[in-house]
Every structure is written in structure tokens, then in C-alpha cells.
Structure 1
Amino acid sequence: MTAPVRWYADTYQDAVWDSSLPPRAKLLALAYARHVRDGQGDRTPAADLSWLTYDRAMDQASIGKRALVTSTQQLLVEKGWLVPVRVIPRRPTLYRLAIPAAAAGTPEGTTDDSPEGTTEPGVVPTGELPAAAGSSLPAAASSLSETGGSQEGTTVVPTGERNSSLRSTSQHHPQRGGTVAYVADRLSVDDDEATKVIEQIRAAARKPPRSLGAYVRSLTHDDLIDHLTAVRTAARPALPPTAADDRPVPAWRLDLAARQAPRRGPGADLARRVLAGEIRPQELPDPDHDGHELASVIPLRAHTA
């Protein structure tokens, strides 16, 4: 029984995690790895071609500006992680994912059946696509799924719209390895959230692990749950203001504070703090709703005849 073939995209992702690239460059490289296709536009173990629109790159790599996407792409090209294959003005550049010699190795789980960088028959083995491929992108992203293959003379490459319709999870390829797929399987999350969990694990480590993949696999399931909770808590939007904060301030409260401020006693001190803005009137107990007496809001000075 032969061992399952390791996906090149997983080998690439592990190499990116273990590299010394800055965090933004790692996230962008991982985003490209999640959308790899071969020369025919199919997802295969040896697929190493990928391209992303600016919007998708900004969303999946948490980059706020297009200029930062461009500079990060240039950094990955200079470092040898992305190799431009097809450049068309005003269209996304098609890249080939490459692992620099300095970062190349045999990560955990690799087999001799599929050496890094090798391709299967029918997959474009060099940086050149078929002659007709550079003329234009496919008119409809559904042409491949409807026909079961690429049209004659046309190379189908992944588009942002087509990628969004495919669930980028480890369930799409049950035999996938890689750290991202491992975390996604253990936590039942998609690859995007698994990537954020791995980044959280790296950031929370007391010192950078020598092998991030081995370190992640050494964590217990409860530890992974804790890191997932931290990721989701950080991404949770701020709670909207409560109804009490939006409640209008009764005029009698401000009038009472103005009359009480010149006097002495705890009520006067509280009134002066309200008028000075140190205490919001909304933070005071409301006798109309909470059952408090008026004296518990701003105590009145007793008058004697």
C-alpha cells in the first residue's frame, strides 16, 4: 500500500510558516497557497500556480492598502517565494509558488513519492503557459465545472469569484497533510481560521519554535481550543451601546444637580461631579425604573423650620 501523495501546496505552507518572512508576507503567501491550480485550472497534488485579485489578497492576508499588497508581492518575488509566470496590465499576475533553496527541506509527513517541485504529466512544468493562455482570462468561471475540463486551446485559471464558491477546507481533500489542514481537522474550522489559529500559537509561544508544524502537533486539543477562542475573541466586534446609554437625560436631574451643587454634604459633592462631567447622569440609578428613592440619586439636604 503506497503512502498518500503529499500536496505541494501543503509543503509550501509548512515552508512559509518555518521561514523568517515578516508576518504580512507569510499571510499573503499562505493566501496564494490556498488557491493553487495546475495549468488546466484543476486542484492536483502538484498544482503550484495561483493568482489573487487585490480585494481577495487584502481580505485573506489582512492587508489594509493595495500599495502594501504590491510591496509584499515584490518582497515574495525577491525572496524567491513567488515566480511571475504571466503578467498582463490591469489584471492579476499569475505566480508559480516556489520554495527557495535556503528554506527547502523535507518537512514532516513528506514522502519520496512526490519530491518538491515535481509535476505530473499534463501539468505545465515550466514558467510558460500554453500559447493561447496569455491572450485572455476565461469569460465564465463556470466553464470548467460545467464541462468537467478546460476548453480546447484555453487554460482555465482560478478567479476570485470561482475560488469563493469552493470551500477551502481540508474536507475538500481528505488526504491532505500540512499544519493548516491538521488544525482545520482538529477544530472543524476552515483553512482561513486555521491559519489565524496557527499565527496565534506562534505569537503566544515563549520563544519561536524550531519547527512550527511539530510544535502545533504537540499541543493538546484543549490548547488548540484555547487558541481558537483567543482568535475569535480578538475578532469579535465591539458591543453596541446599551439602552441605558442611549436614554435621554431627564431635565429634572440636571435642575436638581444645579440647585444642590452650592450646598454642603454628599449630595452637593455628587451634584458638582455630575455638573463637571465626571459622572454621566445615565450612570446614576433611575428612581422611575429601578425603585430607588430620590434621595439615593442625589441626597437632598433636610430643611428645618
Structure 2
Amino acid sequence: MTVRTVVEALDRRYPRDWAESWDRVGLVLGDPDHAVARVLCVVDCVPETVEQALDLGADLIVAHHPLLLKPVSSLAPDTYKGRIIHRLIKADVALYTAHTNADVANPGVSDALAARLGLTALRPLVPAEGAAAGEGRGLGRIGELPEPLPLAAFARLAAARLPATAGGVRAAGDPERVLRTVAVCGGAGDSFLSAATRSGADAYLCADLRHHPVSEHLADGGPALLDVAHWASERPWLDDVAAWLRAEFGVDVVVSDIDTDPWTVQAVAADLPAFGEKENHS
């Protein structure tokens, strides 16, 4: 099996023309004729996951987030992205990205997130248009909980079932609000707040929610909100991709559990002196 073989199969599962026009997906680097014995699946291609790939002897990295989404003027080894690319090329490790084309797929990123939360009877939050339209494809998912849960209890369930991060899970709304229908979106989701409201969902879970949009959404009577770490919301998809690659090719596939969320510390009031008091470092 070669890089070309795996890339062609991934392109069939996540066609490149399903990606948003601004996105950059597909094979980023690597010799198409290089043999593949081991694959590493990651959310982010960063120095830590690159070193993991090299330590494992992986021949191919399948990543969700594009390394080269925005134009760069140099790939010199003294630049952040240049160092990554030089490291991969020297080690003969190929890099492939499936981003918004995997978001819109069915099954895709949000299906994996919804499954972790026990949601069933899934349908798209924002149905796909254009090349990706049809067959249940679209951004985000709406599903039903097995049994009604208060918002506070569902937040605890989400914290238990999603990968742990320093940021954890935050919820906005009445803690006792009973949830039956939940919308989810893997990754940043505040652009779909109005879609979540129109869907009639009782709550909407996604990443990267901001103060003012959340405040205005709740004031307008929108569903309760849950904010999770971006990495944690997309990490479940890696298990699906890995299982499919193993079934398709019988190849050794490793899923990276390196937490690439940039937030690494959460401080709670019990850990800190009261406001105005001096902290004792003794």
C-alpha cells in the first residue's frame, strides 16, 4: 500500500470539492509512491504530533486542521511551519488533511461528536449545498437524548464523555432546563447560533463561543449553550477515521491523544487568595 492508495481512498470518502472555497485539503506533502505501513491520525499537525509520528515510525499523518491554511512566504527551517515541513520531508512522512470536507461528510466530524454524547436520530444542523448536498450531509448535527436531562447534568455528561482538557465544559442557561433535543458542531460553532435556534433544539454544544454572541443569543430566547475545547470536540472523529482505515486496508493506525488545545491551566477560586490579598508562595 502506498501514500497514493490511501490518499485516493480518503479523497473518495471526503471529496475535496466538498470543502469550503477558503479551505486547503488533501495531500500536503509526501511521496505518493512511498509505502505506508503505519498511519497516525491527529487533530493538529504541530511539533508534538510530528515527533509522535516519528517515534511511532508512521509513514503518513492524517490531520483534521490544515497546516498551510493561510499563505506563507517562506518555508525556511527557522519558521514555525517551515520546521514542521522540513522535519516531515526528512523523515519521509506524508501529510494529508481532511477539514471542512470531513465536517460536512456523513459520517463526519459532528457525527462522531454526537455519538460520544449518546445522541440518536441525527440530522444536519445546516444541510449541505452544492457538491456535497444530499444523503444527510451538512454542518453540525441535531439528535435526541436517550432520556431528558437537566442542562447541568448534560454538561457533566459531556465533560465525562469528551476528552479532558484544562478548559473543561461550560454551560450557559438555566441549569435546570430540561433537554431532550441537542444540536452539536465539532469545532468553532458560533456562526450557527441562529441555525440552532431555528432547529428547535433545547441546547447547542460546540467550541469557541464568545461572550457577546452568547449573551445576545440567550437574551433572544435561544437554546442553552455548552462550550467545549476545540480539540476535544473534534478528537472523537479520529477514532472513526482510524477504524475505517483499518477496515479498508488492514493497516496499523494510531490515534493521537496529545492534547493540542492551547489552553493548559484552569484556576479555580479555591486555589487562589481572596481578591486584594497577597498570594503566599512559601
TM-score above 0.5: no
- Bin for the TM-score computed over the shorter chain: under 0.3
Bigger RCO (CA 8 Å, 6+ sep): 2
Q: Greater CA radius of gyration, 1 or 2?
A: 1
The structure with more helix, counted as a fraction of residues: 1
The structure with more strand, counted as a fraction of residues: 2
Structure 2-normalised TM-score? 0.25
Structure 1-normalised TM-score? 0.24
